[in-house]
Amino acid sequence: MRTRRHLAGAVLFSLLLAAVPVQAEAPAPRFVILLVPFTGSSEAPDPLLGEGLMDLLAWGLGRTFGLRVTEPQAAASALTARQATWGAPLEPAAAAEVARGLGAAAALLGTFQVDGDRLSLGATFLDVRAARVREEAFPATSVTWAEGSRVLERMGRALAKFVGVTLGPAGERRLAQAFQRPTPSVAALRRYAGGRAALRAGTTEGLEQAADAFAQAGEIDPTFALAFFRQGEAHEAASSRWRAAGAYRRAIHVDAGFAEAYKSLADLLAKSPRRLYEQAVEAYGKAVEADPDYADAFVGLGDALSATGRFDEAIREYRRGLGIDPLNPRVHYSLARILYTEKGLYHEAVEAYQRALAIEPTFVEAHIGLGDLYEEKGLYSEAIVGYRQALALKPKHPGALYALALAYEKVSPKEAVARWEEYIKVASELPGEKEWIDIAEQHLKKMRQRAAEQEKRR
């Protein structure tokens, strides 16, 4: 029976992949790029403005299919570990060391200079894949502030060429769209950057400060759709779902073609306690209408359709996502979930999770999902490895800490006690975890009793 089920799953999965349209261009490999804040003159440093410019460039690069940028918090921590300061000028040798430590293929060291309404932007690109670092300069370009976003767009294209990434028509379109939204207001960008800086604290207070800063950026420039979008993200991270929804709707009101805002709103609707899946399907539909090259929106649409039992339609949307971006790890992640939870295909789900991780080894949720599969099958040692890999990437991930504690209950009550204590400590600082803390404390009490009994028997 297991052999027949495995064969059926293999056929299903091969059909999913075979249905992907053949592309003229091979999918570009994904290269991680270290980004740090642009640095200004030593006479008048402006670290917030430098961080804002970095973030605008990161936003654009993140919309391509071949480039990913390092998380600011991880980059800042890596710099601190090397006694370097986030936002201060960084020597190429130090940048290369940090980039390699973060698994990046290249680094971009940007510079800026503001003179009245003129903005000068330049950069040094570093390719750190070989033992000898290869450098290339992006010449400083002086333009009006309003034209600065176009220089960032050209910088992004030059970086892609430098690392050998072919953006392709869809990537070119998405990169160009990204730079239609930046603000022409220096003051708005500074407040926006202040919000991004507050997020790095990873605390409830930091989230509140970030949301306020993004709102203030939007007040300064009411057309700054990205600021409202980031405000929504901050509210969502603080578990203020309906405030987040309001911010996403504000972003959409400002920019009716803001596909990411539609998708984030749809994500909220799908995750709401009322499970508003039909409304989510509608919002995801608007996201793909606004940006037909947005693979993640097709993934979300497939997830929402799956939640309503429309599995064949869900698979169709996943196919569309793979057709756009065959190396999108979220498509394989969502396929893994539907293959197991709806089709009962364990081996095929494991393979899909592994595909996602082969594409993006830092995909925390895929590590957790794979761990969950192992845990359900009683493979507790393998599950623990999966959860620990997730925590190595994100040490304070509450879901991974919770799952790890549950897995240890099956093999080591003493270790489970330590893991429940760790989870409770981390979760107590996070909004939205209270009900889970209550359950964790019950588990902790039970595990302490079991560990004490085990110790007596010794």
Across the chain, which has 458 residues, the per-10-residue mean pLDDT values are: 37 42 43 94 75 95 91 91 89 95 95 90 97 96 92 96 92 90 86 92 88 96 96 93 95 95 96 88 96 93 91 88 85 88 87 90 94 94 96 93 95 94 90 84 93 84
Question: What gap in Å lies between CA 445 and CA 449, rounded to an integer?
Answer: 6
297 neighbors 280 (Cβ within 8 angstroms)? no
How far from 140 is each of 21, 57, 120, 121, 144, CA to CA, in Å? 41, 15, 6, 5, 13
Question: If we measure between CA atoms, which residue out of 203, 204, 126 comes closest to residue 163?
Answer: 126
Question: What gap in Å lies between CA 385 and CA 374, rounded to an integer?
Answer: 10
Q: What is the CATH number of domain 363-458?
A: 1.25.40.10
**In CATH terms, are 31-174 and 183-246 the same topology?**
no
Question: If we measure between CA atoms, which residue out of 33, 223, 60 comes closest to residue 124?
Answer: 33
Cross-sheet strand order for the sheet of 118-127: 67-69, 31-35, 106-115, 118-127, 134-144
Question: What gap in Å lies between CA 230 and CA 213, rounded to an integer?
Answer: 10
Fold designation for 31-174: Rossmann fold (3.40.50)
All structural domains of the chain with their residue ranges: 31-174, 183-246, 363-458
287 neighbors 318 (Cβ within 8 angstroms)? no
38: which residues sit within 8 A by CB, 6+ positions away?
49, 50, 51, 53, 54, 110, 111, 112, 121
Question: If we measure between CA atoms, which residue out of 296, 198, 278 comes closest to residue 238?
Answer: 198
350 neighbors 319 (Cβ within 8 angstroms)? no
pLDDT confidence of residue 1: 34
DSSP code for 430: S
pLDDT confidence of residue 59: 95
pLDDT confidence of residue 17: 44
318 neighbors 331 (Cβ within 8 angstroms)? yes
Fold designation for 183-246: 1.25.40
Residue 179 three-state SS: coil
Question: If we measure between CA atoms, which residue out of 198, 210, 255 comes closest to residue 236?
Answer: 210
38 neighbors 121 (Cβ within 8 angstroms)? yes
